[in-house]
Structures are given as structure tokens and as C-alpha cells.
């Protein structure tokens, strides 16, 4: 497994790949957990060449967010990736990706970031789209793997690829969960033991909403139920509880399957913000 930290070496590596090769890319911010490793293993399995990028992207963090304390564990990450058969890891410095800060060009997302994390974290999705575009240009993958825990991110990147004609396929991959249902996240390491215990309420609540779907008159009642269920966990402070159309993220009144409803929760546990989602059909 090749560790590449500069853009010239990445270009050299990429140019050395057979022109028709299927190239799988797994963009990450490091602090790899089993969810990332599932993406990496799938990229190895489905492609002739597999590349993982590890880059904590400053432009997707707001001024008061956790950019500086975000876990950086490059050595441990490399040790986890090596046995999987990944061909190259690209782990650049910020100055390689953004040589002239602040960047002159920024993305504007018209509608898909108006709800959920796009609304709670202004500018976040723009930063994601910016860095993902840069990584697509540099690595030129044919297939790019993203975890569905970041459901809104997956939708936005799929749209980015379509509108900017990136010649690649976005491969959304299922959420990987701990035994108690908590969605794997690099931020789970911030949780105190009691926060970690209560964090399982997010996935449990989503499951309960799905199980009781037929008993709700519509999304308003289902969301009220979810808020009430979360209220039993005093360390869980909901940021949003939403049920939206799974393709457009538009509001829904009805829970009918035609709306492809997906339930979303974001919540604070102390200083840690966690997200989770569950398609209701």
C-alpha cells in the first residue's frame, strides 16, 4: 500500500493505472472505524485499483465546530487499511489542497442543503462539495464510495456528479452499526461512557418509528413520538427530528410509501453532535 502525501506523486500514481481500469475511491477524514473499513473493503473487491483519501477538510467545519480537535490518527488508520489490499492512501496537508487560502471559488447549493445538516451547519455541505470535487479531479475514480449515515451528503454528491458530469458512479453504502444500534462515527470517541450508553437512543427511536408506522396519522405525529422517545434520555439534546422525502428532502405530511419517507435525527450529547437516519420502507 502506497502512502502518497503530495499531488505530483498522486498524479504519477494515477497516470500509472491502466487506462481502462475500474478505480474505486473512498474519501474519508480518517479516524477510521468499521464503517470506513467496510467501504474500503468493498472498493478493493469491486475495483482493479482502490484509493482511500484521508483529509480533515477545514472548509466543511464552521468557525465554532470541532476542526482542531477532530481525531487525527494516521498511523492507526494506515495499519487498519494495509491488510485490506488498498493500493494507495492519499493523505495530503491542508496547504496542498488549498494552496491559496481562502479559496477564490466556492460552491453554492441551491436547495438540497436547506434542511437537516445543511441548515444546522451553514456552509458545511459547500465545503464537502468543494473538497469532494477536488478529490474527484485528482484521483479520477470510476466509482466513489460513501456511507449512507451522511444521507444528505450522499444525495448532494450524487447530484454534483450528475450536474458537473464527473465520469463516475457514486456508490452509497449501508450504515454500519455497533451492537446496540449506534451508527459508527469517528465522533463516537468523544462520548463519555454515559453519553455513549444514551447515544443508542437515536437508532432505537428511528427503529421504533418504523415499527409503529401504521399507528401514526402522518409525519407530524411520528415526529412528535420520536421527540418524546428521545426525551427519556436527558443527555440526548435533539438538533432536528425530521421525516422527509428520500430523494428530494422535501417536507412530507403523509407517511405513504410514494413519498419514500426517511426519518432523520441529529442530536447533541454534550459537545458531540451525532446523526442517524432510517428509510421507513
Q: Does 131 bind ligand PAF (CB under 6 A)?
A: yes
Q: Cα separation of 262 and 151, whole Å?
A: 10
Q: Does 171 bind ligand PAF (CB under 6 A)?
A: no
Q: Are 177 and 170 in contact (CB under 8 A)?
A: no
CB of 127 to ligand PAF, least distance (A): 8
Find the catalytic residue in 36, 137, 165, 245.
36
| Nearer Cβ to ligand PAF (40/128) | 128
Q: Which of 31, 88, 112, 128 binds ligand PAF (CB under 6 A)?
A: 128
CB of 213 to ligand PAF, least distance (A): 29
36 flagged as catalytic: yes
Q: Are 35 and 184 in contact (CB under 8 A)?
A: yes
Q: Does 132 bind ligand PAF (CB under 6 A)?
A: yes
Query: Which letter does DSSP use for residue 103 in this model?
Result: P
Residues 20-59 that bind ligand PAF (CB under 6 A): 27-29, 57
What distances in angstroms separate CA 163 from CA 104, 105, 153, 166, 167, one per listed residue? Answer: 21, 17, 15, 8, 11
CB of 72 to ligand PAF, least distance (A): 13
| Nearer Cβ to ligand PAF (166/233) | 166
Q: How many residues bind ligand PAF (CB under 6 A)?
A: 10
Q: Does 261 bind ligand PAF (CB under 6 A)?
A: no
Count of Cβ atoms closer than 10 Å to residue 168 Cβ: 17
Q: Where are the beta strands (DSSP E) in the chain?
A: 2-4, 23-28, 49-54, 88-90, 143-147, 169-173, 237-245, 261-269, 272-279
Amino acid at each position: 500500500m502506497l502512502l502518497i502525501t503530495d499531488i505530483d506523486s498522486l498524479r504519477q500514481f494515477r497516470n500509472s493505472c491502466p487506462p481502462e481500469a475500474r478505480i474505486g475511491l473512498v474519501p474519508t477524514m480518517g479516524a477510521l472505524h468499521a464503517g470506513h473499513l467496510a467501504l474500503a473493503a468493498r472498493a478493493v473487491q469491486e475495483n482493479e485499483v482502490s484509493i482511500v483519501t484521508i483529509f480533515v477538510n477545514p472548509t466543511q467545519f464552521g468557525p465554532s465546530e470541532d476542526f482542531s480537535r477532530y481525531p487525527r490518527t494516521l498511523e492507526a488508520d494506515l495499519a487498519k487499511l494495509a491488510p485490506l489490499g488498498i493500493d494507495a492512501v492519499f493523505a495530503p496537508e491542508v496547504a496542498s489542497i488549498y494552496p491559496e487560502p481562502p479559496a477564490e471559488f466556492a460552491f453554492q447549493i441551491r436547495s438540497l442543503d436547506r434542511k437537516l445538516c445543511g441548515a444546522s451547519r451553514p456552509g458545511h455541505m459547500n465545503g464537502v462539495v468543494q473538497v469532494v470535487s477536488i478529490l474527484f479531479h485528482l484521483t479520477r475514480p470510476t466509482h466513489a464510495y460513501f456511507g449512507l449515515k451522511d444521507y444528505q451528503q450522499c444525495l448532494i454528491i450524487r447530484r454534483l456528479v450528475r450536474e458537473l458530469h464527473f465520469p463516475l458512479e457514486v456508490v452509497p453504502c449501508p450504515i454500519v452499526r455497533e451492537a446496540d444500534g449506534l451508527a459508527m462515527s469517528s465522533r463516537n470517541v468523544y462520548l463519555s461512557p454515559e453519553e455513549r450508553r444514551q447515544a443508542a437512543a437515536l437508532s432505537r427511536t428511528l427503529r421504533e418509528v418504523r415499527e409503529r408506522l401504521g399507528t401514526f396519522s402522518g409525519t407530524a405525529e411520528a415526529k412528535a413520538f420520536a421527540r418524546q422517545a428521545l426525551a427519556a434520555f436527558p443527555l440526548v439534546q435533539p438538533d432536528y427530528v425530521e421525516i422527509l422525502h428520500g430523494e428530494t428532502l422535501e417536507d412530507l405530511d403523509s407517511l405513504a410509501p410514494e413519498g419514500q419517507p426517511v426519518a432523520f435525527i441529529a442530536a447533541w450529547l454534550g459537545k458531540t453532535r451525532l446523526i442517524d437516519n432510517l428509510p421507513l420502507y
